[in-house]
């Protein structure tokens, strides 16, 4: 599992006092408000002095960025969090940890493929499981996803009746 996880990108400056606009890549923009430090790709720490949500964007004031001119070079910068700083609710996972997991039938052991994408639908996430040219959509609900073994790189599922037309 990666220590640093992508959470968003600086897309513009905000005002003249060094604030920047961050497009969040997480379930909710408010998730980013929990962090005192964000990181650049090279591991450089950026201390968050204050942050607030404005619609679907997070406005962040970083230490050392005092004017609009100071913030402009950071436009396009991808921001990361340290996994150890994050607290997820029970049963929640980082998308990056799910990608690449091998998916197996809990009853038969049949391999369905690997998780290549996660879509957020509102009611529940959907795991895109690909095997060659075949793509299956798996609802991320406890009735279907029975076990996730990150150390072993696998997920066990029990498809609902009719979920996979070719399952029988």
Question: Taking the model in full, what pTM does it have?
Answer: 0.76
Q: Could you give the domains of the chain?
A: 4-83 (2.40.30.60), 95-157 (2.30.30.240)
Distance between CA atoms of 25 and 61, rounded to whole angstroms? 18
Enumerate long-range contacts of 92-99, CB under 8 Å, 24 or more apart. Answer: 93/148, 94/5, 96/2, 96/5, 96/6, 97/1, 97/150, 98/127, 98/148, 98/155
CB-based contact 64:70 (threshold 8 Å): yes
pLDDT tens, per residue, the chain with 168 residues: 788 999 999 999 999 999 999 999 887 899 999 999 999 999 999 999 999 999 999 999 999 999 999 999 999 999 999 999 998 888 788 888 999 999 999 999 999 999 999 988 878 889 999 999 999 999 999 999 999 999 999 999 999 888 776 543
């Amino acid at each position: 599992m990666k220590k640093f996880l992508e959470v968003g990108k600086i897309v513009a400056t905000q005002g003249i006092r060094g604030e920047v606009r961050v497009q969040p890549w997480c379930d909710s923009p408010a998730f980013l408000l929990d962090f005192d430090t964000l990181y650049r790709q090279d591991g450089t720490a950026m201390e968050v002095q204050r942050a607030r949500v404005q619609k679907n964007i997070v406005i962040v004031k970083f230490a050392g960025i005092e004017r609009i001119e100071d913030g402009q070079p950071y436009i396009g910068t991808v921001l990361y969090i340290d996994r150890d700083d994050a607290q997820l609710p029970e049963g929640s996972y980082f998308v990056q940890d799910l990608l690449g997991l091998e998916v197996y039938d809990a009853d038969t052991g049949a391999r369905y493929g690997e998780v290549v994408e996660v879509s957020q639908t509102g009611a529940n996430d959907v795991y895109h499981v690909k095997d060659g040219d075949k793509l299956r959509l798996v609802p991320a609900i406890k009735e279907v996803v029975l076990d996730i073994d990150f150390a072993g790189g696998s997920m066990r599922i029990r498809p609902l009746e009719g979920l996979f037309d070719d399952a029988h």
